[in-house]
């Protein structure tokens, strides 16, 4: 199902600003910070504002249409999310973000952590970092 349909099904309008944010993220290939989305998005929609981008990212993240990831520079960036339980691996050199499926094997780790700490885990964030094939080839 397309992101526009998911947004509409959740009761939200598909606005020009939301389209621009999604278009920028879909073509980026790397996680983008809100101000980077603004710079790229203003080429498509001159009146796009930073507050609108933050609100749009919050909505799209809540609907699991985009994900916030940690970039190698210590900042957070946003990437398009595929449906389902997914995680990302980020290239330390070029910053490319690649999605991979989440697996059931993390449940054993969560159970062990719960037993050892007494916590009840209700969410997790798994992100890996390394070198993509193209950057490894350059070494």
Count of domains observed in the chain: 1
Determine the average pLDDT of the residues in 122-127: 85
Question: Residue 30 burial by CB count (10 A; 0-12/13-18/19+): exposed, middle or buried?
Answer: middle
Which of 12, 11, 50, 16 lies closest to 33, judged by CA?
Answer: 50
Pairing state between β 97-101 and 86-91: antiparallel
pLDDT tens profile 28-65: 989 999 999 999 999 999 999 999 999 999 999 999 99
Is the pTM above the cut of 0.75? yes
Q: In this model, does residue 100 exceed pLDDT 70?
A: yes
pLDDT tens profile 13-32: 999 999 999 999 999 989 99
Range of the domain at 58: 3-138
Question: Which CATH number belongs to the domain containing residue 48 in this structure?
Answer: 1.10.10.10
């Amino acid at each position: 199902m397309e992101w526009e349909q998911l947004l509409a099904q959740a009761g939200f309008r598909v606005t020009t600003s939301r389209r621009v944010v999604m278009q920028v993220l879909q073509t980026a290939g790397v996680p983008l910070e809100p101000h980077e989305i603004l710079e790229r998005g203003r080429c498509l929609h001159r009146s796009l504002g930073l507050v609108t981008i933050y609100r749009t990212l919050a909505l799209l993240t809540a609907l699991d249409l985009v994900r916030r990831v940690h970039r190698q520079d210590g900042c957070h960036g946003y990437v398009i999310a595929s449906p389902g339980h997914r995680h990302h691996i980020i290239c330390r050199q070029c910053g490319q973000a690649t999605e991979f499926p989440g697996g059931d094997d993390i449940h054993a780790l969560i159970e062990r952590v719960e037993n050892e700490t007494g916590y009840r885990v209700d969410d997790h964030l798994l992100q890996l970092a390394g070198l993509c094939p193209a950057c490894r080839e350059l070494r």
